[in-house]
Structure 1
């Protein structure tokens, strides 16, 4: 139910945002659809608020509400597509200087005439089709989609003309979908209102209490790090108090590791028995924790209860702790720490522990959140990883059999056990979870079923590996839940680049489209860091080129959570039996050059189970030389894609009606090394496209690439980007590493850079000998490019005498950090070089 409410809430949010767009709202008003848009928006926002509230509650299953939410999700999908299509044509008008879709707000008569003209054209078209002897062949494949004036793909030019806007059809579609959502509003709102509010989920995350008593007699596979940690603990330090975090995902063995440290005889001797263990869990309350610490200290001293710990006066509690410790060295373990609101709150808890004069006291904090570890640490955190294969397998065997293995094990079961154990990447809790499954039936058939069907993923026991990881997910805010769940579409061990995943999230609407106050890359980086801080991603690589990786078990969790919306087809054993029709995002990983017929049959059945037309995501990974017929068939039928990853080795890789993917925001093409590919002209008609990734491939671009009005990031060879004529029209472009000023060619003046105010990173401008005056230099508007960090200005070898004058017009923004000026030929530098800019590097 939570997933259904979340999906519906998210989609309604997006529809409300689209309806709030000034031009969309004006269009709807100008078409006189008879819709009370203000009332509809108010009711939608009311339901939006109820859905947001319901999302925070532990709502139990309600079949009626579940069904209504599924209907609402479908209607919201339709509304998003229709409004997105309208915005596409509004952008097309802006590019072409026309007014087919753009509302004429100040001239009601002109708007009515335009609407009438479209109605007449629509009526005549319908009449003509009735009298046509071959009307079935003249109807477009999808009558709801705009037609175009394109030549066939067999034409040498591969020309794709302007898509034709049908005002009457658009008006009818908008009215239909808005009324459809509106009709559902009252039913969903009423059901949500009568559902009794329950306590917020954040307060209901009940964690099992822990104690210092050892529950696992032997510590497997961590001898080296354990002994090193023990040595560090028992070494007299100069600090009064040090804090050692032990961090790792749920089920990795943090509490077990801390229990063995706490109970070791060297620890007992070093701290003279002054040890305290407190389970923090999800409720970090300074008064409560201080009370527990004081009570434990009193019990350790065998003191009769004086009731001192029962007061809620923090001052009295802290004074009592300081007196009891009496300048003695001590060890405090704060186990399973989930939250701490601020460093001030943390320092308040530690305050009475720092008052003594004894050196070498220690606080050990176990947590699954790297952000908490970073906040509390005074020494380098211990980051627990999975056990090594051999040690993990030994532990796995003990979880199944204890100390005695059956006679049949070595001959019949050991090979299957090894295959199963490799899936868990060394997670001790996974060994315990699956060990309980396997010990119930010691047969090859049963064990193979566990191996092939991954039954352990569906266990709901509170102490299973998936519930242990799920509770971390439940703790996330909603936007991070969406970010995490869609990561399931990438293959295991995939290395996410920050820009790649950011624009993926934006394409799916998790990050709001075109939010100028909070740019996508800034918001995306914030979300990435929050996922790292919560332990769902690991940041690796160096600072200049970081990447992010998800642990395999967390990838399995993401798959489970997103299973109603997303599917990752990556296994040879894929079965389509229980695929829900609600799937909107499909990822395919080709691991082999060829697949057997049974796998292909499963793929064919899969196509019949999902709504292909309304897919939002289609991604292809793996081997480019494998049979891609299934992928091509999906691509031919889909119409609502926002994200597309595909392999292409020839023009035939693209379907004939590729131009219909007008909602596309993210396109990544994998082209074989050495293949020169002419991209279809349809690409230049994707006016919503934000992200285009061609890798390092050799491509021939469409001549009118500058129509990609919304393109933010173009990842390709430098020479491809720098050879787009009229690039100044792509005003949201954020990366352009080279630009060549050309006198003879149209569209390569220096002034093309003027409107590209979002450019960041590095920019090199060549052929500045083709610029004659300061005024021409000013047209580049370098002073407005606040995101540029490195700028190189290059004149040709044969130099004019106007280099210095031109330089005066090329003043960059003061945020620039590195500047190169090469061959400019003038006798002096620009006046702005020393006074208005602060550079780290000049060359």
Structure 2
């Protein structure tokens, strides 16, 4: 209780400390030390909770088996443990009381008057990029790109030069994605260069984009020769984004393969350095100037008001224009501030931001734009932690939303309870919030990145806690909590020598900028990782020489996240099951994995188990049913023959990629009724093992509203009871929210009535294959959203008639309203296609 009161006293001045740390190094030191003390407190409490779990399990295992000798030994060890913990708690309390005494001396005040912004409304901002003031520049650039005589050379090099945050990458992306520009070139490729110049990586990126194939070559000469051959006589457009390297020899060497391209080929380079542009360009440099005040206001207001007109808030327009003036024409500053202002349409709030002292911070001493610094300081405390954690990613690194969500949860950044909401949902909300404020930016359909200047901000705010291990720098790692590094092809022991002193480290996260095979020193697993006792996140993903884990892994009691995907791991040690806190275990594409540990049921906090692509895995242990907190189970691509008995006990499951129906000893399809929260994709396999069709009805597929893709599959054997198979499929009717349906090896002679019913208004994709005994196709013409239909190897179908269109007396709507792709494959007995009799040009896309 005393420890909790002390912490509450310190939390009350955190806002004031966050704001003053930029100006006052002493405050920064106080704040950093406090954060370290809180981390130590979390580790201490976690150790106590873990010991309690261990004792609980030991007590359950020993029920009825205690002797006095065993009991005395057990309680003696517990007393020794708790006495040790009590000593550490007293020491920690003394440390925290020292912070309380220092806060007054540093002038830190409780409730300093600055309130953080509320949650951003999720409906007001359009997510398409808003670009203002660049129409003329884009038009002029487009003319040059579409001209084959832009320079005297066959390959023209165009450079865009401007300060950070002025919109160079945005302009290049607009040009790169323009339909006219795309149609003018045979090949297109985009490479992010950034500060870590690597000619092999750049050349390989361009080559893989041109060939659309992965390349494992790491020899620069071979890469350049192959790229030159691919480009020979072809017109290409390359973008080299964010170039920093000034070395003339390096830059000219990088360009060597380009010269084989056809006349009219173009290379666009973005850089902050006009000296680099002078070396590379053979077309006049395009200097990108800051936006005019008017355009800057338009951009800021678009992000602040979303789809509303600023005139709906007349009291904010004048003050908003004054804030826009402080952005100094930088689009990045305008859009991040717009995201900040959108959180609160209150005059006092906007006025507080306009007059905030942070505007006076000197950029040259912090390398933080005031507008970006303000966006950080007005974040809620929890979002600050999430944002700062993202500093472990290198500049231009692309990451997936779900990966970040799982890492945040594993690190303990996400509160365990908030109004009863699940942690994953809360973490996704935090991610969306950072994205809506432009602190995280979408880079592709599913990936995100951070702008260089925002990355600099995250690094500044996490300095001393998050570290990117980069070869050109030496680091003090004794108190680093989170570490990442870029995998090399061969990561030898010397690379990791500085880490042996990092006793507080929570995160060991290798990252890939290339897709080639990687190898790591055995000393990392045998010596380094077991010595880092506070680790919560470990990834060894993509290391091809990882075939086993040492038993010492069982000592990492804080571990929440273990990624062994794409390794050659064969078996997991039994001691892994003593890691009671483990939440995420990633084993996807571990092609050599044979089995899971027999005691895996001890992992009571496991939430995510990914086994997809483990092609050697044929059996899950019976104790899987003990994983009562398991949320995500991916067994796609495995050879699992049946699910363990009583799978229905996993009532927390939200993702289940496949359910393999068992025989007498296997798991019955009825177990699926226990998973009402399933979402995403589900394949139900080996349906021939369903004994009674009424069991299929109990699977309750009709009420699984969050499933978007469903596959029903029988084995490829001869059907022994076609009526039973029809009854089973009939009772497996899915929810009408379904978007994709696949049916394979179905043995019925016709399909149930629900298949093709117009109530399935969301189905966009349907695959029917190897339904060998069906003699009629279902009335899928009724499905209004169906875009893709594939039918293959239905050997009893001889005639496709009006039933296919779904036309009858009561159904008069135009069939196949949305169909864009229709494929028939290996329809060996097909003799006749009866047209619908309707006059329509709509059929032209598929007939």
Using the size of structure 1 for normalisation, the TM-score is 0.53
Greater alpha carbon shift after TM alignment, 519-528 vs 113-122: 113-122
Q: Distance in 1 between matches of 2:19 and 2:340?
A: 30
Deviations 1:131-182 (A, max 9, x none): xxxxxxxxxxxxxxxxxxxxxxxxxxxxxxxxxxx64455445544555555
* Cα distance change, pair 251–191 in 1 and its aligned pair in 2 (3 A): same
| Inter-CA distance 810–375: structure 2 relative to 1 (3 Å threshold) | farther
Q: Do the aligned partners of 2:368 and 2:457 also contact (CA within 8 Å) in 1? A: no
- Is it true that 1:764 corresponds to 2:683 in the alignment? yes
Higher relative contact order (CA 8 A, sep 6+): 1
SS of the equivalent of 1:619 reads strand
Aligned to 2:725: 803
Paired with 1:347 and 1:685, the residues of 2 have a C-alpha distance of 62
Q: Deviations over 1:61-95 (max 9, x none)?
A: 359955872673254133332244146438858xx
1:46 aligned residue: 8
Structure exhibiting the larger radius of gyration computed from Cα positions: 1
Unaligned runs of 5+ in 2: 118-133, 144-160, 172-291, 318-328, 343-360, 614-635, 769-847
Q: How far apart, in 2, do the equivalents of 1:68 and 1:527 lie? A: 26
Distance apart, 1:373 and its partner CA: 7.0
* Change over 3 Å in CA distance of 1:538–1:92 after alignment to 2: farther
Q: 1:806 to 1:516 in 2, by over 3 A?
A: farther
Pick aligned residue for 2:638 from 720, 723, 747: 720
1:592-741 equivalent positions in 2, closer than 5 A? 593=490, 600=494, 603-608=496-501, 610-611=502-503, 614-621=504-511, 624-627=518-521, 629-630=523-524, 632-647=526-541, 648-649=543-544, 653-671=548-566, 675=568, 677-698=570-591, 699-704=593-598, 705=600, 707-709=602-604, 710-712=606-608, 714=610, 716-717=612-613, 718-720=636-638, 722=640, 725-726=644-645, 727-741=647-661
State the match for 2:311 in structure 1: 347
1: CA distance between counterparts of 2:436 and 2:137?
26
Match of 1:574 among 473, 480, 485: 473
Match of 1:753 in 2: 672
1:535 aligns with 2:444: no
- Following superposition, the deviation at residue 739 of structure 1 comes to 2.0
Q: 1:51 to 1:773 in 2, by over 3 A?
A: farther
How far the C-alpha of 1:120 sits from its partner, in A, is: 1.0
Cα shift readout 1:209-228 (whole Å, capped 9, x = no counterpart): xxxxxxxxxxxx99732758
1:58 aligns with 2:20: yes
Distance in 2 of aligned mates of 1:700 and 1:463 = 53
Structure 1 residues 483, 249: CA separation in 2 closer, same or farther (over 3 Å shift)? Answer: farther
Indicate the residue corresponding to 2:421 in structure 1.
Answer: 518
Judging changes above 3 Å, is the alpha-carbon distance between structure 1 residues 463 and 229 closer, same or farther for their aligned structure 2 residues?
Answer: farther
Deviation at 1:687, TM superposition (A): 3.7
Number of equivalences: 541
Give the equivalent residue in structure 1 for 2:447: 547
Give the TM-score, by structure 2 length.
Answer: 0.53
CA deviation profile, 1:387-438 (whole Å, cap 9, x unmatched): xxxxxxxxxxxxxxxxxxxxxxxxxxxxxxxxxxxxxxxxxxxxxxxxxxxx
Q: How does 1:500-515 map to 2 (within 5 A)?
A: 500-513=403-416
Q: Contact 1:651–1:678 (CA<8 Å) still a contact in 2?
A: no
Q: Give the structure 2 partner of residue 394 of structure 1.
A: none
Q: Does 1:743 align with 2:743?
A: no
Determine whether 1:583 maps to 2:480.
Answer: yes
Q: Aligned partners of 1:630, 1:664: CA distance in 2, in Å?
A: 16
Change in Cα spacing, 1:653 to 1:41, as seen in structure 2 (3 Å) is: same
Could you tell me how far apart the structure 2 residues matched to 1:638 and 1:818 are? 46
Give the whole-Å Cα distance in 1 for the aligned partners of 2:135 and 2:477: 43
The whole-number CA distance in structure 2 between the counterparts of 1:819 and 1:512 is 37
Once the two structures are TM-superposed, the CA of residue 251 in structure 1 deviates from its matched residue by: 3.5
What SS does the aligned partner of 2:402 have?
helix
Taking structure 1 as reference, are residues 555 and 331 closer, same or farther at Cα in structure 2, changes over 3 Å only?
Answer: closer
C-alpha contact 1:774 1:806 (8 A) present in aligned 2:
yes
SS in 1 for 2:12: helix
Cα distance in 2, alignment partners of residues 369 and 591 from structure 1: 38
Q: Is the 8 A contact 2:336 2:372 kept in 1?
A: no
Q: CA separation in 1, counterparts of 2:330 and 2:313?
A: 13
Shift of the 685–177 alpha-carbon distance from structure 1 to 2, 3 Å rule, reads: same
Matches within 5 A, 1:467-486: 469-486=372-389
Q: 1:558 aligns with which of 440, 455, 458?
A: 458
String of CA shifts for 1:630-678, please: whole Å, max 9, x gaps: 5653202122221111155456652231122232222212545xx5733
What does residue 447 of structure 1 align with?
Answer: none
Deviation (angstroms), 1:501 = 1.2
SS of residue paired to 1:700: coil
Measured against aligned partners, the alpha-carbon deviations of 1:749-787 in whole angstroms (never above 9, x if no partner) come to 324434344432111111222112255325534456442
CA displacement at 1:617 relative to structure 2? 0.8
For the 8 Å contact 1:369–1:533, the answer to whether it is kept is no
Work out whether residues 68 and 184 of structure 1, in 8 Å CA contact, stay in contact via their aligned partners in 2: no
Q: Relative to total residues, which structure has the larger helix share, 1 or 2?
A: 1
How far apart are the structure 1 equivalents of 2:639 and 2:393? 27
Distance 2:402 2:139 in 1: 38
Matched residues in 1 for 2:162 and 2:583: separation?
34
Q: Distance in 2 between matches of 1:516 and 1:835?
A: 39
User: Does structure 1 conserve the Cα–Cα contact (< 8 Å) formed by 2:538 and 2:563?
Assistant: yes
Q: CA deviation at 1:712?
A: 2.8
Q: Structure 1 residues 376, 175: CA separation in 2 closer, same or farther (over 3 Å shift)?
A: closer
Superimposed CA distance per residue, residues 348-407 of structure 1 (whole angstroms, 9 cap, x where no aligned partner): 357999xxxxxxxxxx99553547779999xxxxxxxxxxxxxxxxxxxxxxxxxxxxxx
Query: Which residue in 1 is equivalent to 2:748?
Result: 825
2:397 pairs with 1:494: yes
Compute the displacement of 1:505 (Å). 1.0
- For 1:486-505, what per-residue CA distance to the aligned partner results, in whole angstroms no more than 9, with x for missing partners? 22223443221111111011
- Alignment check: 8 A CA contact 1:677 1:700 kept: yes
> Do the aligned partners of 2:46 and 2:558 also contact (CA within 8 Å) in 1?
yes
Contact 2:13 2:108 in 1 (8 A): no
- Is contact 1:538-1:548 (8 Å) kept? yes
Contact 1:536 1:550 in 2 (8 A): yes
Shift, 1:791, TM fit: 1.9
Please give the alpha-carbon distance, in whole angstroms, between the structure 1 residues aligned to 2:574 and 2:490: 30
Check 1:68–1:687 CA distance in 2 against 1; reply closer, same or farther (3 A cut). Answer: closer
Give the Cα separation in 1 of the matches to 2:756 and 2:80: 58
Q: 1:91, 1:687 within 8 Å by CA — same for their partners in 2?
A: no
3-state DSSP class of the match of 2:20? coil
Distance 1:200 1:805, change over 3 A: same
